Chains A and B, each alone.
Chain A
Amino acid sequence: MSRRSPYEFEGPAPEAPVWWTSLDDYATQQDTSPSARADLAAEMPEGAWDFSDPVSRRGFMTLMGAAVSLATLQGCRRPVDKILPYARTPEDVTVNVTSFYATVIDRRGDAVGLLVESHEGRPTKVEGNPDHTGSHGKTDLLAQASVLDLYDPDRSRQPTLQGATKTYADFEGALREALTGHTSNGGTGLHVLVQPSISPTFVRLREAVKARFPNARFHTWEAASASNARAGARLAFGQAVVPVVDFARARVTVSIDSDFLQTDPGVVRNTRSWAEGRRVRSPADEPSRLYVVESNYSNTGGNADHRLRLPSREIEAYLKALAARLVSEHHIDLGDVAAAVRGAQAPSGVDAKWVNVVAADLAAHRGASALVAGTRQPAPVHALVHVLNQGLGNAGQTVKYAPVADANEADDHAAEVKSLSDALNANQVQTLLVLGGNPVYDAPGGRALSDKIAAVAFSAHLSMHADETSEKCKWHVPRAHWLETWGDAQSLDGVVAIQQPLIQPLFSGRSDIEVLGLLSDAPSYRGYELVRETFRTQNAGNGFERAWRRALNVGIATSAVTPVGPGLRGAEIIRSLSGRNAGAPLSKTNLEVVFAVDAKMYDGRHANNSWLQELPDPVTKITWDNAAMFSPKTAEELGIRGGDMVRLTKGNRSLEIAAWVLPGHADNSVTLPLGWGRTRAGRVGNGHGFDVNPLRTVEAPWFEDGFSATSMGTRYPISQTQAHHRMEGRPIAIETTVAQYREQPNFAERMSPTPRTLPLWRAPNAYEGHKWGMTIDLNSCTGCNACVVACQSENNIPVVGKEQVGRGREMHWLRVDRYFVSPRGQGDADERATSDPAMAVQPLGCVHCENAPCENVCPVAATVHSTEGLNEMAYNRCIGTRYCANNCPYKVRRFNYLNWHNDGVYQPLDGDMPEIVRMAMNPNVTVRFRGVMEKCTYCVQRIQGRKIEAKRENRELRDGEITTACAQACPADAITFGDLNLRGSRVSELARTDRRYKLLGEIGTQPRTTYLARIRNPNPEMQG
């Protein structure tokens, strides 16, 4: 039930005249001290007209009124919203015609070029830019979801000084004043905390600020920092370079604790090339092979052909043993470093095959293999991986090295935080600027910093929300969303793209570069001028204006840089590798704690994004929460069940968190996802999950041992979208091995055949025109969930909140099912079934059955078949009997049990969807009311839009012209949509490949979506 305060009284504007009745009254109004406010509050307590009971008197009256007015239901109308049409239409805007603008987004150190869909100046949907090498027209789930951040009603709207509303002019004046003190001392006492950036303008301006204030200190920090990789490269090569792996060419890939398909840098690029390397068109093709060594069960691990679960701490030892084997048995030349690994042994308990066979496989694929180290692993591991890639001849072949965007960035982010806290503790900081980021929440020891920050003379925090850090800083300045500001970004392979705003800042925020511009005393600190200035330095000459326009138009400013071929520094590496790997063996009393970048929250910056909160975690399928991941064995030893509250303790640090048992997790290791448990994220994000940062230290930001875990004896409710993880031996997400595929190429269809019975009557529709269909290639799908968010964004799919997900009412039209697959026919199968299962993923939306069970049973004919084979929903006709959903064998129909747009996640405040969130809606898709069934439409609005376009241009539709939101987003290109009747169309070709099968084909539903079975490529020598 909605609870509303009857009136919202706005405080008087600062310059408003004071109306007073007596001298006492005047004094009271002038007095803003807390005691006076308390007096005032006691006089008129807030909500005096409301009982404190959850069901307020007004709420109760509303309810009673509803009960009484049942008889008058006929007269009910939905509220009418007034629209404001253009009085004079802007020149380049045609109402109802969407336009796309090129821009770019920073995704953990890689730039993803985008085309953003705009409706009358309102960005609603993000797509990849096909011309950008970081994207190739694809996106990841965070890019898809970021458009909702723009319309976050909880974004701060005004600069504030200790909570009081101010103007930007006030802030600029105050900052200039604070800087005057620093101009004389060269910036001593001026500290700027920034996030790592790939923006050339950012780097240019930072250097300008450093030039102006030589003694100023810049500290770089990000909780999800990839600085280990950077430090590793510097260790190995003496310079900061970034490896770009071409997974398409690497026939054998070994991931050393790297989640390169979900959370590590370059996800879109990696997923694309990895899927390319796995592609199987016929039995003659050989997919690449992936070995993963990791502690947590990551999405990358789920895609592995062989996966070794090992605590993160022991992975280095494994890598050394692998290197030793490569040197001793396969004579791989590691130069001086060979001495450092000679005789290295794999950690105890690791099957010798994992060293011997993997080494043999790598050695057999010299120049066509790759090792990838995860950002969690320390610099020496990265360095050793570089050495191995060089030794195996992969460097320059499958692994290329590109110069980093910001060569002057510090290598060790943890040390950066430490230097700041040291300076704060020594009271050396007079002026502190925090540009983005949220160090009070996510820096190691951030809580301890907070009081020190509060004591700094001038402190300012630039951020989208008034968050944990803003609370401690004097000034808070709203940070503009990336869709509102000018900027630029350099991708891993060196392509620079211009970040072009789609909309004026909704709340007049500022960007990082604008504040840096202010600091650098640039002539103009408007983002546009600053970015153009950078571009001008890169494109000197008369062609500037033309080049600038072109860069805005196509979305890329420069082409990829030439990879560098750096030389190794053996001695440094040897020094770093020696004397490591100590510590007591891990056990249930000496647990390793591993911090993981969250696939949805990242480092916590997306906490107020309801799409991401509700998106199930790709591996655990948990929504709205994080939890500590335990392996089944460790959980059993500790007496912990999933959903128990546990206390993790080491020394004086401790953390209370819900536990979750994750099959396939390494024993004696606990994974803690970062980015949850925010307290000042906003209405959506507050209070979801557990903040694990208090356990993180500067010394061990990624993993640390010596923890103990005790069950607290209480339970914590966790909402999952999928509670059953076994496939029950059913032919659902079908997969096989390369060998078996070659033996029987059409194995999948034989497992799920369409019945061949004579029809009783002629098919009512021959589908002579278009015949829309889809193929989903399970061999390419990595289970990253970008399609789910893309679908949510395209189709205005509501969010229901944690409690309703727990009730099983999530609304996702497209979901990615994840099953654990146990090895079959092995002696220890029972034990391995839960401890070390493989993973199978399957995106599943409406499959548009030609013989649809849902259509027959609808009493009001609200779901019907179109002449083009779409199973259509007429929302206006639907009365919500839910019979169709019951009769759907795929369970893809979603019912609006409540009015999610009103009763959804914003309810705590005003019970109604804020106006601004509605701006994120796609105007081409109906927003569904409560009581209506909905489901995947194959993006019918896109089909109709392109058909109209083609008709207007008097031509046939081309293949690939129409694509669904999921297919467009999919970085692995696993989803293909098109016309099955169009000869030579991609979808019709794919639907005929030998791996095809119809999901639950034996029921006779004749789905239009065809799945292509997954082919795993296990190494036969690893078996047995």
Chain B
Amino acid sequence: MSNDGPIQDIGEKHLVVPGTTFRKITEAVSRVTENPAPRGWWIMFLAAVSFTGVLGLAIGYLFFRGVGVWGNNSPVGWAWDITNFVWWVGIGHAGTLISAVLFLFRQKWRTSINRFAEAMTIFAVICALLFPGIHVGRVWHAYYMFPIPNSMSIWPNFKSPLLWDVFAVGTYFTVSTLFWFVGLIPDLATLRDRSVNSVRRMVYGFLSLGWRSSNRHWQNYERAYMILAALSTPLVLSVHSVVSFDFATSVEPGWHTTIFPPYFVAGAIFSGFAMVMTLMLVARVVFKMNDLVTMTHVELMNKIILATGTIVGYAYAMEFFIAWYSGNEYERYVFLNRAFGPYAWAYWTMISCNVISPQLYWFKRLRTNIPLSFVISIFVNIGMWFERFVIIVTSLHRDFIPSSWGYFHPTPVDIAIYMGSLGLFFTLFLLFIRWVPMIAMAELKSVLPEASAHHHAHDDHDHHHAQPAKAE
């Protein structure tokens, strides 16, 4: 972690509230994992676990009866299943972007939120991976998708974008998890050192891999972190590009579009940031982290939401333009049908949430308004779900042959599995908040003025040479 001058020197604002000390950071973050959970946590956790239980039952029923318990049909072969998959993968984008890309670009404001975002990524990808697994007709043969040497002497079809998905999302999940875990090591050591009971000591001791904060450890750590960041960065672009290939390489009007890879990536960042915002604002209130996650963070994130939301809006417009410009009647029909056909309600929900609502952020007063930020982040989450729904369902439901046109109606099982996946996500996330430092203490300390080599504090000179992660 480099320390290229305090941020104030280049004219930016404080990234934490002035007066925050190393000790304060360690206390604030570690305390959450050590003190008994607040009542609010328990309420949310029980709710989330209940939804996870619903997910389990719904999946059990799904496996028992077959995919027919969903509303999918012919022509709409994919509906909520793949919509949920793409939505969760999209949400899983922000984590890597914040931790890797912003890290490489030396965006130091990321330190307050990167742990959060990374955890969210991993949990979102877990939820995402659920769907390709359960959406197949014969789950007990789902392993056919993996290139496992087998007695049937047959490999998966490497031409299929669905197989690319398996690799892309699998890689993304692996690298994100590694990246997250590597970043956690110094903080886990902090928790280990603060442990007062032997179980905690053993568990955190095991997970912190013998971290002793030596200079050599720090050197290796930072190099590893840098390499993983460099590895993750292309993944940010590749995962959602590959996911978009599921659609872009097909022949379906509405799917067969070259704009999809950048459009999907922008959309993914958009939705990921929105989800980080949602979670962050909640955690900030529940765990009283106002000093560490400041208005600056909120504003910067809102700016990114505005930027990506506008890119997405451009992509929507461009799809229409190309559909008209191509002269392809099927293409034209699909887009007109999206906006004015039986699914117009879904399309306009998407437009309102994704394109119109972020435009409020042109005004500083609005993008620094916490309640509004929360509301818009929810809107964007909804809008991005509808974006995937619109792409998948409205393209399929009316394609080439009018005799086969249909309509999709979700069933209670569709709803249960979607809500259940939210439950799973929040269960994992609440467990994370409770047991793992939710803010990267070591990194956050590096943005304190004290961490700077040029900092001249009156009270304590030690901070000049000590790296910030020393456990207190």
Contact = CB atoms under 8 A, between A and B. Distances in A.
Interface in A964-1004: 1000, 1003
Interface string B384-406: 00000000000010111111111
Interface string B65-100: 111110111111110000000000000000000000
Interface in A820-875: 842, 844, 853, 856-861
A858 B157 CA distance: 7
B401 A931 contact: no
B250 A898 contact: no
B60 A880 contact: no
Contacts of A728: 333, 402
B251 interface: yes
5 contacts: A808-B76, A903-B68, A930-B137, A1000-B400, A1000-B401
A883 interface: yes
Given A724-B405, A815-B403, A883 B74 contact: no
Contacts of A929: 138
A889 B402 contact: no
Interface stretch (B159-167, B181-189, B365-373): B159-167
Q: Closest 4 interchain pairs by CB?
A: A880-B137, A931-B137, A67-B60, A897-B68
A723 B405 contact: yes
B136 interface: yes
B402 A877 contact: no
Interface stretch (B139-147, B293-301, B345-353): B139-147
Given A808-B75, A859-B156, A931-B67, A895 B137 contact: yes
B402 A881 contact: no
B72 A882 contact: yes
Interface string B220-249: 000000000000000000000000001001
A136 interface: no
A853 B250 contact: yes
Interface in A918-966: 929-933
A723 to B, nearest CB: 7
Contact of B73 (A732, A809, A857): A809
A861 B66 contact: no
A677 B135 CA distance: 38
A878 B402 contact: no
B42 interface: no
Given A844-B401, A857-B160, A67 B140 contact: no
Contact of B77 (A68, A729, A807, A886): A886
B335 to A, nearest CB: 14
A74 B401 CA distance: 40
Nearest to B403: A817
A730 B141 CA distance: 40
A73 interface: yes
Interface centre among B57, B68, B159 (most CB of A within 10 A): B68
Contacts of B137: 878-882, 895-897, 930-933
A810 B69 CA distance: 15
A722 B140 CA distance: 33
Nearest to B392: A886
Contacts of B60: 63-64, 66-68, 70
Given A859-B156, A879-B141, A887-B250, A730 B400 contact: yes
Interface of A: 1, 62-64, 66-68, 70, 73-74, 76, 722-730, 732, 804, 807-810, 815, 817-819, 842, 844, 853, 856-861, 877-883, 885-887, 889-891, 893-899, 903, 929-933, 1000, 1003, 1005
B402 A885 contact: no
A724 B68 contact: no
Interface residues of B, number: 60
A807 B409 contact: yes
A76 B63 CA distance: 12
Contacts of A730: 329-330, 400, 402
Contact of B162 (A815, A859, A877): A859
A873 to B, nearest CB: 13
Interface string B21-50: 000000000000000000000000000000
Contacts of B396: 886
A877 B142 CA distance: 10
Contact of A853 (B78, B251, B406): B251
A861 B77 contact: no
B74 A880 contact: no
Interface string B419-433: 000000000000000
Given A70-B60, A817-B401, A930-B66, 12 more contacts: A730-B400, A808-B406, A819-B403, A842-B403, A858-B157, A859-B144, A860-B144, A878-B137, A883-B77, A898-B66, A931-B67, A931-B138
Contact of A891 (B145, B162, B250, B401): B401
Contact of A819 (B67, B135, B402): B402
A70 B145 CA distance: 20
A1 B65 contact: yes
Contact of A879 (B66, B142, B402): B142
B74 A856 contact: no
A889 B403 contact: no
A881 B136 contact: yes
A897 B403 contact: no
Contacts of A726: 402
A64 B398 CA distance: 38
Contact of A887 (B252, B403, B405): B252
Nearest to A857: B160
B63 to A, nearest CB: 6
A888 to B, nearest CB: 9
Given A879-B144, A889-B401, A67 B61 contact: yes
Given A860-B144, A882-B137, A1000-B400, A723 B160 contact: no
B162 A881 contact: yes
Nearest to A808: B73
B132 to A, nearest CB: 8
B155 interface: yes
A1003 B328 CA distance: 11
Contacts of B400: 730, 889-891, 1000, 1003
A855 to B, nearest CB: 8
A891 B398 CA distance: 10
A24 B141 CA distance: 60
B199 interface: no
Contacts of B285: none
B35 to A, nearest CB: 36
Given A73-B139, A878-B137, A930-B137, A63 B64 contact: yes
Contacts of B139: 73, 931
Contacts of A883: 77-78, 160, 162, 246
